[in-house]
Structure 1
Amino acid sequence: MEDVQPLHALSGQIAQLDRLNPQLIERLRHEALTAPAPWKAEYGEYQSGGWWTTSLMNASGEADDVKIGDCVARPTALLESMPATAALLAELGLSYMWVRLARLEANAFLWEHRDYDELDHVERHRLHIPLHTNSSAFLVTGGAKVHMGGGRIWRLTPTYAHGVCNLLGPDRIHLIADVYANDAYQRLARQGQLPPSAAESLPDASPAVLADKVAAARRLANLGYVDAAEQLLLRLFYSFALPEGTTYDLIAQLHTALGDAEASTRWVEAKSKLLALTS
Protein backbone atom coordinates (compact mmCIF):
# COMPACT_ATOMS: atom_id res chain seq x y z
CA MET A 1 0.00 0.00 0.00
CA GLU A 2 1.12 3.53 -0.72
CA ASP A 3 2.33 5.85 2.01
CA VAL A 4 0.41 8.99 2.92
CA GLN A 5 1.77 11.96 0.97
CA PRO A 6 3.27 15.03 2.69
CA LEU A 7 1.47 18.27 1.95
CA HIS A 8 4.27 19.63 -0.23
CA ALA A 9 3.81 16.66 -2.58
CA LEU A 10 0.10 17.27 -3.10
CA SER A 11 0.57 19.81 -5.89
CA GLY A 12 0.99 16.91 -8.30
CA GLN A 13 -2.46 15.68 -7.30
CA ILE A 14 -4.42 18.92 -6.94
CA ALA A 15 -3.63 22.56 -7.66
CA GLN A 16 -5.20 25.97 -8.14
CA LEU A 17 -4.95 27.40 -11.64
CA ASP A 18 -6.43 30.63 -13.01
CA ARG A 19 -8.63 32.96 -11.01
CA LEU A 20 -11.98 33.75 -12.63
CA ASN A 21 -13.90 37.01 -12.60
CA PRO A 22 -16.38 37.04 -9.67
CA GLN A 23 -19.18 38.36 -11.88
CA LEU A 24 -18.57 35.52 -14.32
CA ILE A 25 -18.66 32.97 -11.51
CA GLU A 26 -21.99 34.40 -10.38
CA ARG A 27 -23.42 34.01 -13.89
CA LEU A 28 -22.11 30.42 -14.10
CA ARG A 29 -23.61 29.66 -10.68
CA HIS A 30 -26.98 31.09 -11.68
CA GLU A 31 -27.02 29.00 -14.85
CA ALA A 32 -26.09 25.83 -12.96
CA LEU A 33 -28.80 26.38 -10.38
CA THR A 34 -31.59 27.31 -12.80
CA ALA A 35 -30.89 25.33 -16.00
CA PRO A 36 -33.31 22.44 -16.75
CA ALA A 37 -30.69 19.79 -16.00
CA PRO A 38 -31.63 16.09 -16.24
CA TRP A 39 -29.58 15.04 -13.21
CA LYS A 40 -28.62 11.36 -13.14
CA ALA A 41 -27.12 9.10 -10.47
CA GLU A 42 -24.33 7.11 -12.12
CA TYR A 43 -21.36 5.16 -10.80
CA GLY A 44 -23.46 3.87 -7.90
CA GLU A 45 -20.68 1.65 -6.59
CA TYR A 46 -18.50 4.73 -6.07
CA GLN A 47 -20.87 6.66 -3.83
CA SER A 48 -23.12 6.68 -0.78
CA GLY A 49 -25.98 8.18 -2.78
CA GLY A 50 -26.55 11.89 -3.30
CA TRP A 51 -24.04 12.40 -6.14
CA TRP A 52 -25.68 13.51 -9.39
CA THR A 53 -24.27 14.56 -12.76
CA THR A 54 -25.50 16.01 -16.03
CA SER A 55 -23.50 16.53 -19.22
CA LEU A 56 -22.70 19.78 -20.98
CA MET A 57 -20.38 18.26 -23.61
CA ASN A 58 -20.07 14.60 -24.55
CA ALA A 59 -20.06 12.13 -27.43
CA SER A 60 -23.82 11.88 -27.94
CA GLY A 61 -24.96 15.45 -27.35
CA GLU A 62 -27.49 14.15 -24.78
CA ALA A 63 -27.34 15.76 -21.34
CA ASP A 64 -28.49 12.59 -19.56
CA ASP A 65 -25.59 10.60 -21.06
CA VAL A 66 -23.19 10.86 -18.12
CA LYS A 67 -20.94 7.77 -18.19
CA ILE A 68 -17.71 9.30 -19.45
CA GLY A 69 -15.58 7.88 -22.26
CA ASP A 70 -13.03 9.00 -24.80
CA CYS A 71 -14.53 11.09 -27.56
CA VAL A 72 -14.50 14.38 -29.40
CA ALA A 73 -17.07 16.13 -27.22
CA ARG A 74 -19.91 18.18 -28.63
CA PRO A 75 -22.35 20.48 -26.81
CA THR A 76 -25.56 19.13 -25.37
CA ALA A 77 -28.86 20.98 -25.48
CA LEU A 78 -28.33 21.80 -21.81
CA LEU A 79 -25.14 23.74 -22.59
CA GLU A 80 -26.98 25.62 -25.33
CA SER A 81 -29.30 26.95 -22.58
CA MET A 82 -26.28 28.17 -20.55
CA PRO A 83 -24.65 30.95 -22.65
CA ALA A 84 -22.15 32.21 -20.06
CA THR A 85 -20.89 28.67 -19.41
CA ALA A 86 -20.66 27.93 -23.13
CA ALA A 87 -18.73 31.18 -23.72
CA LEU A 88 -16.20 30.35 -20.99
CA LEU A 89 -15.63 26.84 -22.33
CA ALA A 90 -15.06 28.24 -25.82
CA GLU A 91 -12.74 30.97 -24.53
CA LEU A 92 -10.53 28.47 -22.69
CA GLY A 93 -9.74 26.77 -26.00
CA LEU A 94 -9.31 23.32 -24.46
CA SER A 95 -9.69 19.94 -26.13
CA TYR A 96 -12.71 18.60 -24.28
CA MET A 97 -13.30 14.91 -23.68
CA TRP A 98 -16.36 15.43 -21.46
CA VAL A 99 -17.85 18.35 -19.50
CA ARG A 100 -20.34 17.84 -16.66
CA LEU A 101 -22.07 19.53 -13.80
CA ALA A 102 -21.70 17.44 -10.65
CA ARG A 103 -23.92 17.93 -7.60
CA LEU A 104 -23.11 16.40 -4.21
CA GLU A 105 -25.87 16.62 -1.61
CA ALA A 106 -25.42 17.09 2.12
CA ASN A 107 -24.21 14.01 4.01
CA ALA A 108 -23.07 12.40 0.75
CA PHE A 109 -19.78 10.76 -0.13
CA LEU A 110 -17.80 9.61 -3.15
CA TRP A 111 -15.81 6.71 -1.75
CA GLU A 112 -12.05 6.37 -2.17
CA HIS A 113 -11.33 5.56 -5.82
CA ARG A 114 -9.23 6.22 -8.91
CA ASP A 115 -10.50 7.37 -12.31
CA TYR A 116 -9.50 6.94 -15.98
CA ASP A 117 -8.27 3.33 -15.73
CA GLU A 118 -10.95 2.15 -18.19
CA LEU A 119 -10.10 4.86 -20.76
CA ASP A 120 -7.49 5.06 -23.50
CA HIS A 121 -3.98 5.63 -22.17
CA VAL A 122 -3.44 9.17 -23.42
CA GLU A 123 -2.63 12.35 -21.54
CA ARG A 124 -5.79 13.87 -20.08
CA HIS A 125 -6.55 16.10 -17.14
CA ARG A 126 -9.53 16.98 -14.97
CA LEU A 127 -10.49 20.58 -14.23
CA HIS A 128 -12.94 21.70 -11.56
CA ILE A 129 -14.70 25.04 -11.32
CA PRO A 130 -16.57 25.23 -7.98
CA LEU A 131 -19.88 27.04 -8.50
CA HIS A 132 -21.78 26.39 -5.27
CA THR A 133 -19.99 25.02 -2.23
CA ASN A 134 -19.51 25.17 1.53
CA SER A 135 -16.66 24.66 3.99
CA SER A 136 -17.81 21.15 4.95
CA ALA A 137 -17.39 19.94 1.35
CA PHE A 138 -13.87 18.73 0.68
CA LEU A 139 -11.73 16.33 -1.28
CA VAL A 140 -9.35 13.88 0.39
CA THR A 141 -6.19 12.73 -1.34
CA GLY A 142 -2.75 11.79 -0.11
CA GLY A 143 -3.79 11.90 3.55
CA ALA A 144 -4.98 15.52 3.40
CA LYS A 145 -8.29 17.26 2.89
CA VAL A 146 -8.66 20.13 0.45
CA HIS A 147 -11.64 22.45 0.23
CA MET A 148 -11.86 23.54 -3.39
CA GLY A 149 -12.91 27.12 -2.86
CA GLY A 150 -14.75 29.20 -5.42
CA GLY A 151 -13.30 31.78 -7.79
CA ARG A 152 -10.68 29.57 -9.43
CA ILE A 153 -10.14 26.74 -11.84
CA TRP A 154 -8.66 23.73 -10.06
CA ARG A 155 -6.73 20.83 -11.51
CA LEU A 156 -7.23 17.35 -10.09
CA THR A 157 -5.19 14.31 -11.08
CA PRO A 158 -7.79 11.58 -10.53
CA THR A 159 -5.42 8.70 -11.17
CA TYR A 160 -4.37 9.20 -7.52
CA ALA A 161 -6.70 7.65 -4.96
CA HIS A 162 -9.17 10.26 -3.76
CA GLY A 163 -12.65 10.73 -2.33
CA VAL A 164 -15.09 13.59 -1.83
CA CYS A 165 -17.62 14.43 0.86
CA ASN A 166 -20.21 17.09 1.67
CA LEU A 167 -20.88 16.78 5.36
CA LEU A 168 -23.41 19.50 6.15
CA GLY A 169 -24.55 21.10 2.91
CA PRO A 170 -25.84 22.98 1.05
CA ASP A 171 -25.28 21.11 -2.21
CA ARG A 172 -21.81 21.26 -3.70
CA ILE A 173 -21.99 21.94 -7.45
CA HIS A 174 -18.88 21.87 -9.62
CA LEU A 175 -18.36 22.23 -13.34
CA ILE A 176 -16.00 19.37 -14.22
CA ALA A 177 -14.13 19.26 -17.54
CA ASP A 178 -12.06 16.27 -18.61
CA VAL A 179 -9.66 17.53 -21.25
CA TYR A 180 -6.93 16.20 -23.49
CA ALA A 181 -3.53 17.87 -23.30
CA ASN A 182 -3.05 20.70 -25.81
CA ASP A 183 -1.25 24.02 -25.87
CA ALA A 184 -4.17 25.82 -24.21
CA TYR A 185 -4.12 23.34 -21.34
CA GLN A 186 -0.36 23.68 -20.93
CA ARG A 187 -0.67 27.47 -20.70
CA LEU A 188 -3.48 27.16 -18.17
CA ALA A 189 -1.64 24.65 -16.01
CA ARG A 190 1.75 26.37 -16.08
CA GLN A 191 1.13 28.47 -12.96
CA GLY A 192 -0.59 25.75 -10.97
CA GLN A 193 0.14 25.57 -7.27
CA LEU A 194 -1.45 24.48 -4.02
CA PRO A 195 -1.11 27.14 -1.30
CA PRO A 196 -0.42 25.62 2.14
CA SER A 197 -3.62 27.18 3.47
CA ALA A 198 -5.71 25.16 0.98
CA ALA A 199 -4.79 21.75 2.41
CA GLU A 200 -5.02 20.29 5.89
CA SER A 201 -3.25 17.11 6.92
CA LEU A 202 -5.53 14.49 8.41
CA PRO A 203 -4.44 12.87 11.69
CA ASP A 204 -3.04 9.35 11.75
CA ALA A 205 -5.24 6.60 13.11
CA SER A 206 -3.56 4.43 15.73
CA PRO A 207 -4.23 0.68 15.82
CA ALA A 208 -6.26 1.26 18.99
CA VAL A 209 -8.48 3.84 17.25
CA LEU A 210 -9.04 1.55 14.26
CA ALA A 211 -9.80 -1.37 16.57
CA ASP A 212 -12.37 0.77 18.37
CA LYS A 213 -14.04 1.76 15.07
CA VAL A 214 -14.12 -1.85 13.88
CA ALA A 215 -15.66 -2.91 17.20
CA ALA A 216 -18.35 -0.22 16.80
CA ALA A 217 -19.02 -1.41 13.25
CA ARG A 218 -19.34 -4.99 14.45
CA ARG A 219 -21.87 -3.97 17.09
CA LEU A 220 -23.96 -2.28 14.40
CA ALA A 221 -23.72 -5.34 12.15
CA ASN A 222 -24.73 -7.65 14.97
CA LEU A 223 -27.85 -5.52 15.45
CA GLY A 224 -28.68 -5.97 11.78
CA TYR A 225 -27.40 -2.58 10.57
CA VAL A 226 -24.86 -3.95 8.12
CA ASP A 227 -25.00 -1.00 5.69
CA ALA A 228 -24.45 1.43 8.57
CA ALA A 229 -21.49 -0.65 9.76
CA GLU A 230 -19.91 -0.53 6.31
CA GLN A 231 -20.49 3.21 5.98
CA LEU A 232 -18.96 3.84 9.42
CA LEU A 233 -15.75 2.23 8.18
CA LEU A 234 -15.85 3.84 4.72
CA ARG A 235 -16.12 7.30 6.31
CA LEU A 236 -12.83 6.82 8.17
CA PHE A 237 -11.12 7.85 4.92
CA TYR A 238 -12.39 11.41 5.48
CA SER A 239 -11.24 11.66 9.11
CA PHE A 240 -7.84 9.96 9.17
CA ALA A 241 -4.74 9.65 7.01
CA LEU A 242 -4.90 5.99 6.06
CA PRO A 243 -2.82 3.83 3.73
CA GLU A 244 -4.58 3.27 0.44
CA GLY A 245 -7.54 0.91 0.55
CA THR A 246 -7.57 0.55 4.35
CA THR A 247 -11.32 1.09 4.70
CA TYR A 248 -12.06 -1.64 2.15
CA ASP A 249 -9.71 -4.01 3.98
CA LEU A 250 -11.43 -3.27 7.29
CA ILE A 251 -14.86 -4.01 5.82
CA ALA A 252 -13.65 -7.27 4.30
CA GLN A 253 -12.15 -8.24 7.67
CA LEU A 254 -15.40 -7.33 9.41
CA HIS A 255 -17.39 -9.67 7.19
CA THR A 256 -14.82 -12.42 7.65
CA ALA A 257 -15.21 -12.04 11.43
CA LEU A 258 -19.00 -12.21 11.00
CA GLY A 259 -18.65 -15.43 9.01
CA ASP A 260 -19.86 -13.92 5.72
CA ALA A 261 -17.20 -15.03 3.22
CA GLU A 262 -19.28 -13.89 0.24
CA ALA A 263 -19.52 -10.32 1.52
CA SER A 264 -15.82 -10.32 2.38
CA THR A 265 -14.94 -11.37 -1.17
CA ARG A 266 -17.29 -8.74 -2.58
CA TRP A 267 -15.42 -5.99 -0.74
CA VAL A 268 -12.03 -7.33 -1.76
CA GLU A 269 -13.25 -7.14 -5.36
CA ALA A 270 -14.68 -3.64 -4.79
CA LYS A 271 -11.28 -2.46 -3.57
CA SER A 272 -9.63 -3.80 -6.72
CA LYS A 273 -12.22 -2.15 -8.97
CA LEU A 274 -12.47 1.23 -7.27
CA LEU A 275 -8.72 1.61 -6.87
CA ALA A 276 -7.94 0.13 -10.30
CA LEU A 277 -5.69 -2.54 -8.83
CA THR A 278 -4.34 -5.37 -10.97
CA SER A 279 -3.21 -8.75 -9.73
Structure 2
Amino acid sequence: MMTTSPAAATAVQTSPRRPEVLGQVARLVELEESTVEQMRAEALEAPARGVVAYGEYQSGGWWTTSLLNHSGDPHDVVIGDGRPRPTSLLDEMPATARFLDSLGLDFMYVRLARLEPHSYLWEHRDYAELRDTGRHRLHIPLVTNPSAVLVTAGARVHMAAGALWRLTPSQAHGVCNTTGPDRLHLIADVYADDAYQTLAARPHLRDGDATDLPEMTEAERDGLLERAGQLAELGFAGAAEQTLLRAFYTYALPEGGAYDLIAELHTARGRDGDAHRWREAKAHLLARP
Protein backbone atom coordinates (compact mmCIF):
# COMPACT_ATOMS: atom_id res chain seq x y z
CA MET A 1 0.00 0.00 0.00
CA MET A 2 3.02 2.28 0.32
CA THR A 3 5.99 2.86 -1.93
CA THR A 4 9.28 4.63 -1.35
CA SER A 5 11.53 6.30 -3.86
CA PRO A 6 15.14 7.46 -3.37
CA ALA A 7 14.50 10.17 -5.94
CA ALA A 8 11.58 11.48 -3.93
CA ALA A 9 13.74 11.76 -0.84
CA THR A 10 16.30 13.92 -2.61
CA ALA A 11 13.96 16.10 -4.69
CA VAL A 12 13.72 18.72 -1.97
CA GLN A 13 12.38 22.22 -2.26
CA THR A 14 15.20 24.77 -2.44
CA SER A 15 14.13 27.76 -0.35
CA PRO A 16 15.64 29.98 2.35
CA ARG A 17 12.88 28.78 4.68
CA ARG A 18 12.99 25.12 3.65
CA PRO A 19 14.63 23.69 6.80
CA GLU A 20 12.03 25.36 9.02
CA VAL A 21 9.18 24.35 6.75
CA LEU A 22 10.46 20.75 6.56
CA GLY A 23 10.39 20.62 10.35
CA GLN A 24 6.71 21.47 10.31
CA VAL A 25 5.32 19.65 7.28
CA ALA A 26 6.83 16.93 5.06
CA ARG A 27 6.11 14.00 2.81
CA LEU A 28 6.91 10.69 4.49
CA VAL A 29 6.06 7.98 1.93
CA GLU A 30 4.31 7.69 -1.41
CA LEU A 31 1.11 5.64 -1.53
CA GLU A 32 -0.12 3.22 -4.14
CA GLU A 33 -2.55 4.96 -6.46
CA SER A 34 -5.12 2.16 -6.19
CA THR A 35 -5.16 2.46 -2.39
CA VAL A 36 -5.75 6.21 -2.54
CA GLU A 37 -8.48 5.75 -5.15
CA GLN A 38 -10.32 3.20 -2.99
CA MET A 39 -10.17 5.43 0.09
CA ARG A 40 -11.21 8.46 -1.96
CA ALA A 41 -14.27 6.62 -3.26
CA GLU A 42 -15.27 5.55 0.25
CA ALA A 43 -14.82 9.07 1.64
CA LEU A 44 -16.85 10.66 -1.15
CA GLU A 45 -19.64 8.13 -0.60
CA ALA A 46 -19.74 8.71 3.18
CA PRO A 47 -23.35 9.40 4.19
CA ALA A 48 -22.51 12.32 6.51
CA ARG A 49 -20.81 15.52 5.36
CA GLY A 50 -19.54 16.04 8.90
CA VAL A 51 -20.06 18.40 11.78
CA VAL A 52 -18.63 21.78 12.67
CA ALA A 53 -16.09 21.74 15.49
CA TYR A 54 -13.49 24.21 16.71
CA GLY A 55 -15.60 27.03 15.31
CA GLU A 56 -13.31 29.68 16.78
CA TYR A 57 -10.53 28.49 14.46
CA GLN A 58 -12.32 28.96 11.16
CA SER A 59 -14.28 31.14 8.76
CA GLY A 60 -16.82 28.36 8.21
CA GLY A 61 -16.73 25.47 5.74
CA TRP A 62 -14.58 23.09 7.86
CA TRP A 63 -16.38 19.79 8.51
CA THR A 64 -15.05 16.70 10.27
CA THR A 65 -16.25 13.14 10.82
CA SER A 66 -14.52 10.57 13.02
CA LEU A 67 -13.34 7.13 11.93
CA LEU A 68 -11.53 6.21 15.15
CA ASN A 69 -12.50 7.86 18.43
CA HIS A 70 -13.44 7.02 22.00
CA SER A 71 -17.22 6.80 21.64
CA GLY A 72 -17.77 5.05 18.30
CA ASP A 73 -20.01 7.96 17.22
CA PRO A 74 -18.71 9.50 13.97
CA HIS A 75 -20.15 12.88 15.00
CA ASP A 76 -17.91 12.98 18.09
CA VAL A 77 -14.99 14.96 16.64
CA VAL A 78 -13.25 16.72 19.55
CA ILE A 79 -9.93 14.90 19.81
CA GLY A 80 -8.46 13.67 23.07
CA ASP A 81 -5.90 11.28 24.46
CA GLY A 82 -6.74 7.60 24.83
CA ARG A 83 -7.16 4.37 22.93
CA PRO A 84 -9.85 4.74 20.25
CA ARG A 85 -12.25 2.30 18.64
CA PRO A 86 -13.81 2.21 15.16
CA THR A 87 -16.85 4.37 14.60
CA SER A 88 -19.91 3.22 12.70
CA LEU A 89 -18.63 5.16 9.69
CA LEU A 90 -15.34 3.27 9.53
CA ASP A 91 -17.34 0.03 9.55
CA GLU A 92 -18.67 1.15 6.14
CA MET A 93 -15.18 1.92 4.76
CA PRO A 94 -13.31 -1.42 4.51
CA ALA A 95 -10.47 -0.20 2.24
CA THR A 96 -9.76 2.69 4.61
CA ALA A 97 -9.85 0.37 7.60
CA ARG A 98 -7.37 -2.00 5.89
CA PHE A 99 -5.04 0.89 5.10
CA LEU A 100 -5.06 2.17 8.68
CA ASP A 101 -4.43 -1.32 10.00
CA SER A 102 -1.54 -1.81 7.55
CA LEU A 103 0.33 1.15 9.06
CA GLY A 104 0.74 -0.66 12.37
CA LEU A 105 0.55 2.63 14.28
CA ASP A 106 -0.73 3.46 17.76
CA PHE A 107 -3.68 5.71 16.92
CA MET A 108 -5.14 8.43 19.11
CA TYR A 109 -7.82 9.70 16.72
CA VAL A 110 -8.65 9.45 13.00
CA ARG A 111 -10.95 11.82 11.12
CA LEU A 112 -12.14 12.79 7.68
CA ALA A 113 -11.80 16.55 7.26
CA ARG A 114 -13.51 18.53 4.51
CA LEU A 115 -12.68 22.17 3.71
CA GLU A 116 -15.10 23.86 1.34
CA PRO A 117 -14.15 26.49 -1.26
CA HIS A 118 -13.57 30.05 0.03
CA SER A 119 -12.90 28.69 3.53
CA TYR A 120 -10.12 29.29 6.02
CA LEU A 121 -8.76 27.79 9.20
CA TRP A 122 -7.20 30.78 10.93
CA GLU A 123 -3.65 30.70 12.28
CA HIS A 124 -3.54 28.45 15.35
CA ARG A 125 -1.76 25.71 17.26
CA ASP A 126 -3.19 22.32 18.12
CA TYR A 127 -2.64 19.94 21.04
CA ALA A 128 -2.62 22.78 23.62
CA GLU A 129 -5.43 21.06 25.53
CA LEU A 130 -3.80 17.61 25.61
CA ARG A 131 -1.37 16.11 28.09
CA ASP A 132 2.34 16.04 27.33
CA THR A 133 2.61 12.78 25.42
CA GLY A 134 4.57 12.31 22.19
CA ARG A 135 2.13 12.43 19.30
CA HIS A 136 2.18 13.27 15.63
CA ARG A 137 -0.37 14.17 12.96
CA LEU A 138 -0.53 12.43 9.59
CA HIS A 139 -2.42 13.72 6.54
CA ILE A 140 -3.51 11.62 3.58
CA PRO A 141 -4.96 14.02 0.96
CA LEU A 142 -7.79 12.30 -0.91
CA VAL A 143 -9.28 15.23 -2.84
CA THR A 144 -7.44 18.51 -3.25
CA ASN A 145 -6.62 21.36 -5.63
CA PRO A 146 -3.70 23.80 -6.02
CA SER A 147 -5.54 26.56 -4.10
CA ALA A 148 -5.88 24.34 -1.02
CA VAL A 149 -2.74 25.09 0.97
CA LEU A 150 -1.26 24.94 4.42
CA VAL A 151 0.57 28.08 5.56
CA THR A 152 3.31 27.69 8.15
CA ALA A 153 6.80 29.09 8.78
CA GLY A 154 6.25 31.87 6.26
CA ALA A 155 5.54 29.49 3.39
CA ARG A 156 2.57 28.12 1.48
CA VAL A 157 2.57 24.30 1.18
CA HIS A 158 0.29 22.31 -1.09
CA MET A 159 -0.16 18.82 0.34
CA ALA A 160 -0.60 16.83 -2.85
CA ALA A 161 -2.58 13.62 -3.10
CA GLY A 162 -0.72 10.32 -3.44
CA ALA A 163 1.50 10.73 -0.39
CA LEU A 164 1.32 10.38 3.36
CA TRP A 165 2.32 13.65 5.01
CA ARG A 166 3.42 14.62 8.50
CA LEU A 167 2.29 17.88 10.08
CA THR A 168 3.61 19.29 13.35
CA PRO A 169 0.40 20.95 14.58
CA SER A 170 1.96 22.30 17.76
CA GLN A 171 3.60 24.91 15.50
CA ALA A 172 1.55 27.88 14.27
CA HIS A 173 -0.25 27.13 11.00
CA GLY A 174 -3.39 27.80 9.01
CA VAL A 175 -5.20 26.29 6.04
CA CYS A 176 -7.19 27.79 3.19
CA ASN A 177 -9.10 26.58 0.14
CA THR A 178 -9.56 29.71 -1.90
CA THR A 179 -11.18 28.47 -5.12
CA GLY A 180 -12.24 24.85 -4.63
CA PRO A 181 -13.38 22.21 -5.17
CA ASP A 182 -13.61 20.72 -1.68
CA ARG A 183 -10.39 19.64 0.01
CA LEU A 184 -10.86 16.23 1.66
CA HIS A 185 -8.13 14.74 3.88
CA LEU A 186 -7.85 11.67 6.08
CA ILE A 187 -6.17 12.92 9.29
CA ALA A 188 -4.67 10.54 11.83
CA ASP A 189 -3.25 11.54 15.20
CA VAL A 190 -0.81 8.88 16.38
CA TYR A 191 1.44 8.28 19.37
CA ALA A 192 5.21 8.22 19.04
CA ASP A 193 6.57 4.67 18.88
CA ASP A 194 8.99 2.57 16.86
CA ALA A 195 6.46 2.05 14.05
CA TYR A 196 6.00 5.79 13.68
CA GLN A 197 9.75 6.43 13.73
CA THR A 198 10.22 3.91 10.91
CA LEU A 199 7.44 5.50 8.87
CA ALA A 200 8.85 9.00 9.42
CA ALA A 201 12.50 8.15 8.76
CA ARG A 202 12.78 10.07 5.47
CA PRO A 203 10.84 13.34 5.61
CA HIS A 204 11.20 15.38 2.44
CA LEU A 205 9.63 17.99 0.20
CA ARG A 206 9.58 17.94 -3.58
CA ASP A 207 10.24 20.94 -5.77
CA GLY A 208 7.01 22.93 -5.95
CA ASP A 209 5.56 21.64 -2.66
CA ALA A 210 6.44 24.83 -0.76
CA THR A 211 6.52 28.47 -1.84
CA ASP A 212 7.85 31.30 0.31
CA LEU A 213 5.42 34.11 1.09
CA PRO A 214 6.63 37.69 0.62
CA GLU A 215 7.25 40.03 3.52
CA MET A 216 4.61 42.73 3.96
CA THR A 217 5.88 46.24 3.20
CA GLU A 218 4.87 49.27 5.27
CA ALA A 219 2.86 50.58 2.33
CA GLU A 220 1.00 47.26 2.00
CA ARG A 221 0.36 47.21 5.73
CA ASP A 222 -1.02 50.75 5.73
CA GLY A 223 -3.18 50.04 2.69
CA LEU A 224 -4.59 46.88 4.23
CA LEU A 225 -5.49 48.67 7.46
CA GLU A 226 -7.06 51.50 5.47
CA ARG A 227 -9.27 49.12 3.49
CA ALA A 228 -10.29 47.28 6.65
CA GLY A 229 -11.04 50.58 8.36
CA GLN A 230 -13.28 51.64 5.51
CA LEU A 231 -15.24 48.39 5.75
CA ALA A 232 -15.60 48.81 9.50
CA GLU A 233 -16.84 52.40 9.14
CA LEU A 234 -19.49 51.18 6.70
CA GLY A 235 -20.73 48.74 9.35
CA PHE A 236 -18.99 45.63 8.04
CA ALA A 237 -16.73 44.96 11.03
CA GLY A 238 -16.73 41.19 10.42
CA ALA A 239 -15.63 41.65 6.81
CA ALA A 240 -12.92 44.06 7.98
CA GLU A 241 -11.61 41.47 10.44
CA GLN A 242 -11.60 38.71 7.83
CA THR A 243 -9.74 40.97 5.41
CA LEU A 244 -6.95 41.23 7.96
CA LEU A 245 -7.09 37.54 8.94
CA ARG A 246 -6.55 36.55 5.31
CA ALA A 247 -3.28 38.51 5.27
CA PHE A 248 -1.75 35.46 6.98
CA TYR A 249 -2.18 33.54 3.70
CA THR A 250 -0.67 36.31 1.56
CA TYR A 251 2.31 37.57 3.55
CA ALA A 252 5.01 36.12 5.80
CA LEU A 253 3.74 37.77 8.97
CA PRO A 254 5.25 37.39 12.43
CA GLU A 255 3.42 34.87 14.59
CA GLY A 256 -0.02 36.25 15.45
CA GLY A 257 0.54 39.22 13.14
CA ALA A 258 -2.96 39.09 11.64
CA TYR A 259 -4.51 39.20 15.12
CA ASP A 260 -2.28 42.17 15.98
CA LEU A 261 -3.54 44.00 12.89
CA ILE A 262 -7.15 43.48 13.97
CA ALA A 263 -6.40 44.73 17.47
CA GLU A 264 -4.69 47.78 15.96
CA LEU A 265 -7.71 48.42 13.74
CA HIS A 266 -10.11 48.39 16.69
CA THR A 267 -7.81 50.48 18.87
CA ALA A 268 -7.64 53.16 16.17
CA ARG A 269 -11.45 53.21 16.08
CA GLY A 270 -11.69 53.55 19.85
CA ARG A 271 -13.07 50.01 20.22
CA ASP A 272 -10.87 48.93 23.09
CA GLY A 273 -13.16 46.05 24.04
CA ASP A 274 -12.93 44.56 20.55
CA ALA A 275 -9.15 45.06 20.54
CA HIS A 276 -8.91 43.22 23.88
CA ARG A 277 -11.10 40.39 22.54
CA TRP A 278 -8.72 39.80 19.63
CA ARG A 279 -5.66 39.91 21.86
CA GLU A 280 -7.30 37.20 23.95
CA ALA A 281 -8.13 35.23 20.78
CA LYS A 282 -4.48 35.41 19.76
CA ALA A 283 -3.36 34.06 23.15
CA HIS A 284 -5.95 31.27 22.98
CA LEU A 285 -5.43 30.18 19.37
CA LEU A 286 -1.64 30.27 19.59
CA ALA A 287 -1.27 28.78 23.08
CA ARG A 288 1.68 26.41 23.26
CA PRO A 289 1.06 22.81 24.38
Same fold (TM over 0.5): yes
Matched, 1:219 2:230: yes
2 CA distance for matches of 1:55 and 1:259?
Answer: 44
How much identity, in percent, do the aligned residues show?
A: 58
Contact 1:136 1:166 in 2 (8 A): yes
TM-score w.r.t. the length of structure 1 is: 0.96
Alignment deviations for residues 100-138 of structure 1 (CA, whole Å, 9 cap, x no partner): 000000000000000001101011000000000001100
2 CA distance for matches of 1:101 and 1:227?
Answer: 29
1:257 CA displacement: 1.1
TM-score w.r.t. the length of structure 2 is: 0.93
1:205 CA displacement: 0.4
1:277 CA displacement: 5.6
The residue identity in structure 2 corresponding to 1:272 is: A
Question: Which of 67, 75, 78 is equivalent to 2:89?
Answer: 78
Question: Which of 118, 131, 155 is equivalent to 1:120?
Answer: 131
1 CA distance for matches of 2:206 and 2:146?
Answer: 17
1:19 CA displacement: 0.8
Equivalent residues, number: 274
2 CA distance for matches of 1:156 and 1:164?
Answer: 12
Q: Which runs of 4+ in 1 moved over 6 A?
A: none
Matched, 1:255 2:266: yes
Matched, 1:187 2:198: yes
Q: Which residue of 1 aligns with 2:140?
A: 129
Question: Which of 42, 46, 60 is equivalent to 1:35?
Answer: 46
Matched, 1:244 2:255: yes
Matched, 1:64 2:86: no
Contact 2:140 2:165 in 1 (8 A): yes
What's the C-alpha RMSD, in Å, of the aligned pairs? Answer: 1.1
2 CA distance for matches of 1:196 and 1:263?
Answer: 42
1 CA distance for matches of 2:273 and 2:121?
Answer: 24
1:259 CA displacement: 1.2
Alignment deviations for residues 200-243 of structure 1 (CA, whole Å, 9 cap, x no partner): 00011011111110000000000001000000000000001111
SS of residue matched to 2:253: coil
2 CA distance for matches of 1:39 and 1:117?
Answer: 23
Matched, 1:170 2:181: yes
Contact 2:125 2:288 in 1 (8 A): no
1 CA distance for matches of 2:288 and 2:225?
Answer: 24
1 CA distance for matches of 2:21 and 2:156?
Answer: 10
2 CA distance for matches of 1:170 and 1:89?
Answer: 26
The residue identity in structure 2 corresponding to 1:153 is: L
